[in-house]
Structure 1
Amino acid sequence: MERIRPFGQLDDGRAVHAYRLGGDDGICAEVLDLGGILARLQVPGANGRVDAVLRLPDARAYLADPAYLGILVGRYGNRIGGARFSLAGREHALSANEGRNHLHGGHLGFGRRLWDVESHTADTLVLRLRSPEGEEGYPGNLDVVATYRVHGTRLELLFEARSDASTPFNPTHHPYFNLAGDANVPAASQVLQVPVAGVLPVADDLIPLGRVEPADGTPFDFRTAATLRSKLGADDPQLRVAGGFDHCLVLEPGHACAAQLYSPHSGVAMRIDCDAPALQLYGGQGLARQHPGLGDGLCLEPQDYPDAPNHPGFPPAVLRPGTAYRRRILYRFGCPGCDCAWDDVAAALARA
């Protein structure tokens, strides 16, 4: 496979390229300069290499994608209610791209912009983007660097940013994972473990109500590893609101691991390490409507709290001028084998 290959073009004729990272003995990834999209991720499985994320065929398909497959999300991941917020006594109106609300940075956000390639080697890709003052309604000129790095069975994503004015900032990553290597295998059959401390309940439009509720005794309690399918049958009002899982899980303080995911079908397991305070769990229930025939996948998005600029009780998610932002998301892959006990899965990931 080529290290750089054409991947289509934008409406204005600019070319989009896919950049290969890694090799044949570990992870192999392809990342687009369009949106920093993780367009392919192959990992070693029990019976050969496994495609671990859902993908689309070309740049135009990603530009038209309503499901945000694989993108770097920004400026603000998740939702901001009413597409507005106040900061330092001034109200800012954002682009409303999900009804009256603002989702994943707006109409274009980071995920439909062509990033500059600063450098590319066999295992590293460094992308840079400037988001100017007023883009999607945000204050401040924001400079963002996103670095993808493959080493062995690990994929690292590092966000770094600076702004010349205070601005809400909550970048995250939006791959749809199906570790079975077969998108026709239900994503809900994957086994998930998350160090959950609480959950943010949401209104009908999926905007947080402004409080943290205990996860104990609810379908959102993934402290003990379980399939999503085993939870979906619960008669829970929050599952009814979202049509499944589309909720922000508040993580235990001091956690190192944000989530672990395992496919008994392929024997592949993944651990996500990140110091973000929360993790958005999206079960992918909209995919069948948005992309008929694409298959199943779920999202695990380390992030700050959604709609934090409108809830003084939530931890702030504002980047101040003169402050350097840095957040690392590390995906670690192992292959304990098919139909393993969870202790064996966790042990394999601890070694990964």
Structure 2
Amino acid sequence: MTRTRPFGRLDDGTPVHAWTLGDAEGLSAEILDLGGILARLEFPGAHGRTGLVLGLGDAQAYHDDPAYLGILVGRFGNRIAGAACTLDGERLRLTANQGRNHLHGGASGFGRRLWTVEAPDASTLVMRYRSPHGEEGYPGNLDVRATYRLQGARLRLDFEATSDRPTPFNPTHHPYFNLAGDPAVPASAQWLQVPASGYLPVDEALIPLGEVAGVSGSPFDFRAARTLDAAFDGRDPQLGTAGGYDHCLVLDAHSDYAAMLYSPHSGIALRIDSDAPALQLYGGHGLDRQHPGLGRGLCLEPQGFPDAPNRPAFPDAILRPGTTFRRRIEYRFAMPGRARPWEEVAAALERA
């Protein structure tokens, strides 16, 4: 049987519940019916059972959270310029919730909504949400299903969605990873590898400029593993514009994974597999202001291209009636040990 427990109430009295997958011997996850939030993720490390994602203490804190900790993101992950786009000749006006722009589905998006939990068991949690026509300005009644499956050292998230009208759709997942499990250990000390030869430069509002730039010789080149501390270059204009890493990396089409992450402190490693074409890399620097004392985590968000509805050259991000959208995100974990060479880390993740 799946374990569930009360996770507090929202200010309007709505109860929120947490659902646990897995057990204390291996990988375990706790997921809320509020926003499908991944509130806790633990795995055995060098210092014992280790928390891998940043989390908050109660339901209302998550509801009020400006940092999107752990949420299922939709309808559209990342930004849409001017909170507007033209679809089949009709101008859509979306909720402007980051200045004049639209971010992560709007003021409430998917992350502040209650999802319906269906037939949970010890390893699977199926969640459904109906986003009605006009919600956050989006056209169409959208039915979305998010399925979490935990098997061994892997947690898989599958999105499926249909709509009765054409609508922009680009869901993703927004956990903050610090595999050290210790806020005193900087998230930027984790080793990161991403098979991306290009990235999307942005303007001051973090809207893509429209071109794909090469990563060679830049702080955005993680094709060979290195820490964000080692890669960071304070003279880089893009890092200055964004205040740090908050950029979309364009994944190489031939790659069989989206990212690998490793903490030499805990000895835990993570590999992300996905069929998404891009990966948003966010260094978590906003948390210093939004949640002082929480520490930082690294967001690695498989997704489509930001602002795609306004960029015909970007991969299409419109869900149309009669089609079913599917996206897969899988997190696999391994324990290669502390301070191991990268070849051993990658090999351990391949076996996981």
Structure 2 length-normalised TM: 0.99
**Deviation, structure 1 residue 234:** 4.3
**SS, match of residue 258 in structure 2:** strand
Taking the aligned partners of 1:172 and 1:5, their CA distance within structure 2 comes to 26
Taking the aligned partners of 2:184 and 2:161, their CA distance within structure 1 comes to 38
Counterpart in the other structure of 2:207: 207
Counterpart in the other structure of 1:309: 309
**SS, match of residue 257 in structure 1:** coil
Taking the aligned partners of 2:127 and 2:183, their CA distance within structure 1 comes to 29
**Deviation, structure 1 residue 199:** 0.6
**Deviation, structure 1 residue 275:** 1.1
Counterpart in the other structure of 2:259: 259
**SS, match of residue 66 in structure 1:** coil
Q: CA RMSD of the aligned region, Å?
A: 1.1
1:35-184 equivalences in 2 (<5 Å) = 35-184=35-184
CA contact (8 A) 2:147 2:158 kept: yes
CA contact (8 A) 1:160 1:325 kept: yes
Question: What count of residue pairs does the alignment treat as equivalent?
Answer: 352
Counterpart in the other structure of 1:248: 248
Taking the aligned partners of 2:25 and 2:325, their CA distance within structure 1 comes to 33
State percent identity of aligned pairs.
Answer: 67
Q: Which amino acid aligns with 2:115?
A: W
Counterpart in the other structure of 1:188: 188
CA contact (8 A) 1:35 1:113 kept: yes
Q: Which amino acid aligns with 2:246?
A: D
Question: Which string of whole-angstrom CA distances, capped at 9 and with x for unpartnered residues, describes residues 241-296 of structure 1?
Answer: 01110000001013220000000000000000001100000000010100011112
**SS, match of residue 309 in structure 1:** helix
CA contact (8 A) 1:258 1:272 kept: yes
**SS, match of residue 42 in structure 1:** strand
Counterpart in the other structure of 1:325: 325
**Deviation, structure 1 residue 11:** 2.6
Q: Which amino acid aligns with 1:222?
A: F
Taking the aligned partners of 1:9 and 1:164, their CA distance within structure 2 comes to 33
**Deviation, structure 1 residue 2:** 8.2
Taking the aligned partners of 1:254 and 1:93, their CA distance within structure 2 comes to 36
Structure 1 stretches of 4+ with a deviation exceeding 2 A read none
**Deviation, structure 1 residue 302:** 0.1
Question: Is 2:341 the partner of 1:341?
Answer: yes
Taking the aligned partners of 2:218 and 2:317, their CA distance within structure 1 comes to 27
Question: Which string of whole-angstrom CA distances, capped at 9 and with x for unpartnered residues, describes residues 185-223 of structure 1?
Answer: 100000000001201000000000011010111100000
Taking the aligned partners of 1:140 and 1:296, their CA distance within structure 2 comes to 37
Taking structure 1 as reference, are residues 11 and 71 closer, same or farther at Cα in structure 2, changes over 3 Å only? same
Taking the aligned partners of 2:70 and 2:303, their CA distance within structure 1 comes to 15
CA contact (8 A) 1:255 1:275 kept: no
**SS, match of residue 120 in structure 1:** coil
Taking the aligned partners of 2:39 and 2:335, their CA distance within structure 1 comes to 22
Counterpart in the other structure of 1:268: 268
CA contact (8 A) 1:184 1:296 kept: no
Q: Which amino acid aligns with 1:47?
A: H
CA contact (8 A) 2:233 2:239 kept: no
Taking the aligned partners of 1:297 and 1:148, their CA distance within structure 2 comes to 21
Question: Is 2:282 the partner of 1:282?
Answer: yes
Question: Which string of whole-angstrom CA distances, capped at 9 and with x for unpartnered residues, describes residues 111-161 of structure 1?
Answer: 000001112111111000000000000011000000001111000000000
Structure 1 alignment gaps of length 5 or more? none
Counterpart in the other structure of 1:13: 13
Q: Which amino acid aligns with 2:48?
A: G
Structure 1 length-normalised TM: 0.99
Q: Which amino acid aligns with 1:296?
A: R
**Deviation, structure 1 residue 233:** 3.1
Taking the aligned partners of 2:322 and 2:158, their CA distance within structure 1 comes to 19
Counterpart in the other structure of 1:228: 228
**SS, match of residue 327 in structure 1:** strand
Taking the aligned partners of 1:74 and 1:329, their CA distance within structure 2 comes to 15
**SS, match of residue 60 in structure 1:** helix
Q: Which amino acid aligns with 2:59?
A: A
Counterpart in the other structure of 1:291: 291
Taking the aligned partners of 2:285 and 2:234, their CA distance within structure 1 comes to 16
Taking the aligned partners of 1:240 and 1:125, their CA distance within structure 2 comes to 41
**SS, match of residue 62 in structure 1:** helix
Taking structure 1 as reference, are residues 92 and 11 closer, same or farther at Cα in structure 2, changes over 3 Å only? same
**Deviation, structure 1 residue 97:** 0.2
**SS, match of residue 349 in structure 1:** helix
CA contact (8 A) 2:40 2:53 kept: yes
Of residues 170-179 and 10-19 in structure 1, the stretch that sits farther from structure 2 once superposed is: 10-19
**SS, match of residue 70 in structure 1:** coil
